[in-house]
């Protein structure tokens, strides 16, 4: 198959869960023997690069410092690039990351296409996420009126675009059964049109990572309790605040020999009491393997959290909220400790700190779960099989 993957963001910059999902699905499709062509934002839109993995084409999307990918459906540079690739490269499937661009691709297919299938690869119900982000910005101290207005315009735009994308595409990829039901309920989409392609983790990277607290910059005499994520994403920022302001201070007051480790793109490097903020880490799996417990105190957000699956792949025991592990087939007290309140979170974390055997048992169970259901290689094979079936479906 010749597959064109269209992304509103740089697919090769693995700075968050969305880019990790897009990259690993593209890599799996290439590994299955398909020709994979990437179209993503670039400075000039004229650059074409070739690597061992992909042929990458770019289109301009930036005005000043702001990337206006939410308007890709009316971006003339985007439209021209998609049309050129569809016309010249005998594309079989156009796989679109996020809803922005699906409508344009469907219109181009109708005008010049030859029956290509159009896929909307969702990472969550994007309209809900954009609305949550807008609410966070409005509640954030120091947010300007312009920032708040722009956030709500993006939320409204996304709901309209996503509804059209869901209706016009040939198939929708969802990360969980919860998201699938959300698409059916919100946009009236038929269940037959939605295929579950979950998020995953790279077992190969996890198993090749090393454990060294010294090299990871961690205190060798203390248990390392880790959380990581893109700091610019409001739910992650709220989780970091919860760790710094509520969870970590409790254990400091009680003299626990633990160190809270926070990492991720945009995380400010600092040390605050028993919290160490590392900032961006090149080899996140080695940081995870050097840690002892993972925590996910998330209270909002959509989709499924790749960080959970990465913790599973590293064999870490986890304390998480129900929202944090939403959409992942994990059982409480078997694969993780799942709680509802901050008080329960602290109690569960205290239990793991005090019981090494339980840490090892839960971490082992978590690794077995990700190996059986959430390995990117297996997920990629399922997606390739779905695309082969999709091509046999009449237009």
pLDDT digits (tens, 9 = 90+) for 30-54: 999 999 999 998 865 556 665 567 8
CA distances from 270 to 260, 277, 280 (A): 12, 5, 12
Whether residue 291 sits in one domain with residue 165: no
Domain match, 123 and 85 both:
yes
CATH of the domain at 348: 3.40.50.2000
Tell me what pLDDT residue 386 has. Answer: 96
Domain identity same for 195 and 257? no
The per-residue pLDDT for 61 is 77
Same domain (yes/no): 267, 240: yes
Beta strands in the chain (DSSP E): 2-6, 35-41, 48-50, 55-59, 62-63, 66-67, 93-97, 117-121, 171-174, 194-196, 223-228, 258-263, 270-272, 275-279, 293-296, 318-321, 337-339
Claim to verify: residue 278 and residue 190 sit in the same structural domain:
no
Domain span including residue 364? 203-373
Q: Judge if 358 and 255 occupy the same domain.
A: yes
Q: How far apart are CA 173 and CA 195, in angstroms?
A: 5
Residues contacting 194, CB < 8 A, separation 6+: 171, 172, 173, 174, 180, 183, 184
CA angle 175, 181, 184 (to 5 degrees): 115
Other CB atoms closer than 10 Å to residue 262's CB: what's the count?
27
Burial of 104 (0-12, 13-18, 19+ CB in 10 A): buried
Domain count, the chain: 2
**372 close to 312: Cβ distance less than 8 angstroms:** no
User: What is residue 49's predicted lDDT score, i.e. its pLDDT?
Assistant: 64
| Pairing verdict, β 48-50 and 55-59 | antiparallel
**With a cut of 70, which residues of the chain have pLDDT below it?**
43-52, 62-67, 303, 395
39/119 same-domain check:
yes
Would the pTM count as exceeding 0.85?
yes
């Amino acid at each position: 198959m010749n597959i064109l993957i269209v992304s509103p963001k740089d697919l090769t910059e693995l700075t968050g869960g969305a880019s990790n999902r897009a990259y690993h699905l593209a890599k799996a499709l290439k590994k299955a023997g398909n020709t994979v062509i990437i179209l993503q934002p670039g400075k000039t839109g004229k650059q074409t690069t070739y690597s061992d993995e992909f042929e990458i084409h770019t289109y301009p999307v930036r005005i000043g410092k702001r990337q206006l990918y939410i308007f890709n459906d009316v971006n003339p540079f985007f439209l021209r690039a998609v049309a050129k690739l569809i016309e010249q490269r005998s594309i079989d499937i156009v796989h679109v990351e996020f809803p922005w661009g699906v409508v344009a691709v469907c219109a181009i297919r109708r005008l010049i296409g030859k029956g290509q299938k159009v896929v909307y690869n969702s990472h969550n119900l994007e309209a809900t996420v954009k609305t949550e982000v807008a609410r966070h910005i409005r509640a954030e101290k120091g947010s300007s009126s312009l920032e708040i207005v722009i956030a709500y315009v993006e939320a409204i735009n996304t709901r309209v675009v996503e509804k059209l994308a869901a209706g016009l595409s040939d198939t929708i990829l969802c990360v969980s059964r919860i998201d699938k039901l959300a698409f059916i309920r919100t946009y009236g989409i038929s269940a037959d049109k939605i295929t579950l392609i979950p998020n995953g983790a790279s077992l190969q990277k996890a198993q090749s990572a090393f454990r060294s607290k010294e090299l990871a910059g961690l205190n060798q005499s203390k248990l390392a309790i880790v959380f990581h994520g893109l700091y610019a994403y409001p739910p992650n920022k709220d989780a970091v605040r919860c760790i710094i302001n509520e969870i970590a201070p409790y254990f400091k007051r009680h003299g626990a020999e633990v160190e809270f480790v926070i990492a991720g793109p945009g995380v400010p490097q600092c040390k605050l009491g028993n919290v160490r903020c590392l900032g961006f880490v090149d080899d996140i799996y080695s940081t995870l393997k050097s840690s002892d417990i993972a925590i996910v105190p998330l209270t909002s957000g959509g989709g499924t959290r790749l960080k959970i699956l990465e913790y599973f792949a590293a064999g870490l025991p986890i304390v998480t909220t129900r929202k944090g592990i939403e959409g992942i087939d994990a059982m409480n007290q078997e694969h993780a400790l799942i709680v509802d309140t901050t008080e329960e979170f602290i109690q569960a974390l205290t239990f793991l700190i005090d019981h090494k055997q339980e840490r090892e048992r839960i971490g082992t169970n978590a690794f077995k779960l990700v190996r059986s259901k959430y390995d990117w290689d297996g997920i990629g094979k399922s997606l390739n099989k779905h695309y082969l079936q999709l091509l046999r479906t009449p237009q």
